[in-house]
Every structure is written in C-alpha cells, then in structure tokens.
Amino acid sequence: MALICVISVFVLLQGCKKATVPILTTAEVTGITINAAVSGGDITSDGDDEIIARGVCYNTSSNPSITDSKTSDGSGSGIFTSNLSGLQPATTYYIRAYATNSVGTSYGEEFIFNTKMADSEGNQYTVVKIGSQIWMAENLKTTKYNDNALIPNVTGDAAWAALTTHAYCWYSNDAAYNKPLYGALYNWYAVKSGKLCPTGWHVPTDAEYNTLELSIGIPQAQIDTWGWRGTDQGKQLKNTTGWSTGQNGTNTSGFAALPGGYRYYETGAFNGQNTLGYWWTATEVDATRAWYRMLEGTNNGVYKAGTEKKAGKSVRCMKN
C-alpha cells in the first residue's frame, strides 16, 4: 500500500508541473542581399508546453520583438529557417528568434547585420558602419555613372597617362580576375563627376576619411599631416586575407581593404597589386592633384598624400 501511495503522489506532482516560456537560440544571418536575408533559430526547450508560433523578429533598432516586423515559421520545437524579404538596402537591422507557447514569448540572442547596396549596373556591395558613417566594404566596380552614362575604359598605357578627362580601367586590363576581387581603378576626373557612386552615396572627402580614421584611433594631432599616421590603424582597415604572406590585417574596422594596386600617372603602368591599396578622396589638393589614402602590407599605419589626378586608384563610397 505504501508503494502505491508513493507512485500516486509522484504522478500527481508530475501532472501539476508548471509550464514555462521556451528556450531558444538565434541562427546566424546568411544569404544577405540588398533586400533579403536568411536566419532562423533552434528551440531547445518548449517549456513543457506546445510551441504555437515561432520565427524571427527584426527592426532597425535594438531588441526587436513580435510587435515589430517578423516572420511566421510554423510551430513545434527544434531547428527552423526564416526567410526575410522586403528589407531596405544598405540598412542596419537587429534580429532575434522568437518562440511562443501558452505561457508567453521568449527570444534568442540578438544579431546585427547590414543589407547590401547596388550600383546602376546591379553590382551588389557589402556595407559596414564605422563610427557614425556607413561605408562600402568593397571597392567600386561600376563601368557606368549613376545616370547610366558610360565611363570610358582606357587600356593603353600612353593613352592613360595623357588623359585629362574621366576614365576607368581594370588592373592589367583583366576584368575577369579583378572586377569581383579588387574592383576598378578610376582617375580623379571620374571622381570629380559627382556621379560615380550610386544615388544616395558619394566618394568621401578628405575630411570624411579623417573622421573614419579618428574613429579607429588615429590621434587628432596627426590627422591632417602628410605621410604615415597612426600605429595599427592600417592593420584595422586591412582584410584578414588577400595580402602578401605576413601582411594581412585584423579588419576590426570592417573596412576589409585589399591590395588592388594602382595605375601610375606618368606612364600608365600598373603597379603594387598584392602589396598596396590606394583610395581616392573627393578633395583636391590643387589644380592637378587630389588627396588619397594608401595602405601597405609592411606598414600598419595609414598613408595620406596628394597625387596627380591622372593616376588610377580604387574608390569606396559612403552613404549620404
């Protein structure tokens, strides 16, 4: 009789066990485009109650909830996938998985991601927020202005060196290799057009590059000086792969700079790929020169100087 009573009490207690909210994690965000992404979650505990709703919620501010935009991905525990659509280009989103049972709704950890942006040709670019600025995290590769006008592609060395008008080229005139990896090289006359970047974006000024550099630690006292500045800020800007052996960066900034080389203004020759990266600013030094930034594999600083507008350099765009 005593054994039967013990079993009865155990069954009674089990039947009275109180349900709790679910426990879950959020899946990393993948498949990011200009207006879509993929995430999801894993419900590891249903809280001893049926999961009646699950998905991800997202917003442009932190701690999104089910009162914000969300996906609905069925019911039940375990792993699920969420497809997000209708997102805005070049926008920062915060995302969390959610799961609901009769007790309530709980959330997984929060992730942050940026949708991509596109140029007038449809090339898509990863973007990154650095400080208060939003930058392309890849070099520009368009062959058209944002009004769809063609930019002349000048291949000959002597012809390039003689230019006083806008043009672009691919390093060593090899588009197949360079376009997806390094983007195009432009002379400053193309930058001056004001139409090189997609609508709503622009080639950053010297002052805007200064702002970027200050945000990653270059001292104010050095910011307007010519030559090498900073300590490890170049390393922060360089990608973690793609440079010569032993010369990769940490990319803690997210800028993901690669050594795309340059085209020399005096001869039109191509130089420096794998070891040097150059980027135009939109600011003139004088009638024949404009400011640029340079990163070098063997130096962890950031080089600032002016050079002839005929030179061929990479371009990054910044959101207006």
* pLDDT tens-digit series, residues 3-50: 333 444 444 444 556 899 999 999 999 999 999 999 999 999 999 999
- Give the position of tokens 């390094």: 182
CB-CB contact of 191 with 315 (8 Å): yes
Indicate whether 293 pLDDT > 90: yes
Which of 114, 144, 161 lies at the terminal end of a domain, its last residue? 114
Give a yes or no: residue 2 inside a domain: no
The answer on pLDDT for 203 being more than 90 is: yes
The CATH number of the domain holding residue 75 is: 2.60.40.10
Q: Report the alpha-carbon distance of residue 126 to residue 115 in Å, rounded.
A: 7
Which domain, by its residues, includes 277?
117-319
Contacts with 151 (C-beta within 8 Å, 6 or more apart), sequence order: 142, 143, 144, 145, 166, 167, 168, 186, 190, 196
Task: Answer yes or no: is 7 within a domain.
Answer: no
Question: What pLDDT, on the 0 to 100 scale, is given for residue 16?
Answer: 54
- Structural domain contains residue 208: yes
Question: pLDDT for 215-230, tens place per residue?
Answer: 999 999 999 999 999 9
Provide mean pLDDT across the span 264-292: 97
Note if the pTM is more than 0.95.
no
Q: What is the DSSP string of 3-38?
A: HHHHHHHHHHHHHTPPP---EEEEPPPBS--SS-EE
Total count of domains within the chain = 2
